[in-house]
Amino acid sequence: VLDEVCETTGVTLKRYMNEVAMLNPELTELTVLFGAIDTACKAITNMVKRSQLPSSETLGYQGEVNIQGEDQKKLDVITNEVLKRALRFTGKMGVLASEEEDVPLDLVNTEKDAIFADTGKYVAVFDPLDGSSNVDAGIPTGTIIGIYDHDENCAMDDESCEGDECAQQELNCLSNTLQAGTNLVAAAYCLYSSSTFFVLTLGAGTYGFTLDENLGEFVLSHPNMKIPETSSIMSFNEANTHMWDEPLQKVVKGWRDGTGKSGQQFSSRYIGSMVGDVHRTLLYGGVFGYPGDTKNVNGKLRLLYEGAPMSFIMEQAGGISTTGTKRVMEIQPEYVHQRVPIIMGSKNDIEEVMEAYAAAE
């Protein structure tokens, strides 16, 4: 059904979501959510572009350290607020989790104004500005969002519980964010680069939009994106190669010297900003990875709001996303900021990696 909608071009994101809702009434509330996310991404792209101006109120550090142990930049904090506010005022949010929040926020039971706790239908997990340390250098950054259905059992209303009951309520609420990627209803990223891109999946293909600044709208530019099945581009922080698993070292060596399955000698492209590296991989083909290593056995990327949503987008474009031995979308998170090793991209190249891991078992 979505394909019929996307035959046309010049479709704005708003019109695309309205047509999706007309064809799929059960997704109507989701379109309200993406209307808010659309606006938030436009606000964030403006902030990122202006963040280096001496007059900018988003220049520099916040002076706080977040749950990740990272120095928070003012931009991290303000983009997190922009997204939280945009999502909250849709009235469709039950719970949300962010890289910049220590614990998930329960919006349904703590909303002062009932109107904003309208249905609490969805859970949003997001990284408001992934790669923010790159902004000062003008390197692309991005916003990553995952949307799950919200289970009405989630309640964190401290007034209505005592002692252990509060802990249980908190656990229920946490569990609403702790869903495997296979439960995702939608996933999207905004890429703040030479253009501002908005790429999303609702589970029926991956669709790319480009911000037309004259219109002030995201316009459909990459309908039904499909990643090339094979490629010759690898995208890793190769300074860590010596600490990787043996199977991955073997495959990457083959790509480097042209003795791998495809016989191609690979180029290396890595900007150290996941959204930019994944976007290039989707369009040009290739393999992007942040594998585990002897220093960080689960790598660096977070499962809930980086790994799972980006894997959903990649799979819907015909790619594969694995830890080497497990499909990333099938991993059940145990805690909000859990890390996961990720190797994702062109089908044939990822299969070569999985075969190497299987052979080593």
Residues that bind ligand P6P (CB under 6 A): 130-131, 133, 237, 272-274, 277, 290, 300
Q: 116 or 270: whose CB is closer to ligand P6P? A: 270
Q: Measured from the CB of residue 21, what is the shortest distance to ligand P6P in angstroms?
A: 32
Residue 184: half-sphere exposure toward Cβ, Cα within 13 Å: 36
CB of 224 to ligand P6P, least distance (A): 26
Measured distance CA(146)–CA(134) in Å, rounded:
23
CB 76 to ligand P6P: min, Å: 11
Stretch (H or E) spanning 35: helix 28-50
Of 78 and 274, the one with the shorter C-beta distance to ligand P6P is 274
Nearer to ligand P6P, 71 or 81 (CB): 71
Residue with smaller CB distance to ligand P6P, 48 or 155: 48
What would the two tokens of residue 159 be?
């007034």
Judged by CB, which is closer to ligand P6P: 195, or 237? 237
- Least CB distance from residue 5 to ligand P6P, whole Å? 31
CA distance 111 to 118: 10
| 65 in Cβ contact with 76 (< 8 Å) | no
CB distance 347 to 319 below 8 Å: yes
Helix (H, G, I), strand (E, B) or coil at 79: helix
**314 closest CA partner among 344, 352, 285:** 344
The rounded distance, in Å, linking the Cα atoms of 234 and 188 is 23
Q: What is the 3-state secondary structure (H, E, C) of 184-221?
A: EEEEEEEEECCCEEEEEECCCCEEEEEEECCCCEEEEE
Residue 102 CB, nearest approach to ligand P6P (Å): 18
Site of tokens 């694995």: 322
- Closer to ligand P6P at the Cβ: 132 or 176? 132
Q: How far is the CB of 251 from ligand P6P (least distance, A)?
A: 19
Q: How far is the CB of 190 from ligand P6P (least distance, A)?
A: 13
Q: Which of 238, 336, 351, 255 is nearest to 291 (CA)?
A: 238
106 or 277: CB nearest ligand P6P: 277
Structure tokens at 60: 């520099």
Beta bridge partners of residue 186, listed in sequence order: 147
Nearest distance from C-beta of residue 313 to ligand P6P, angstroms: 15
CB nearer ligand P6P, residue 291 or residue 324: 291
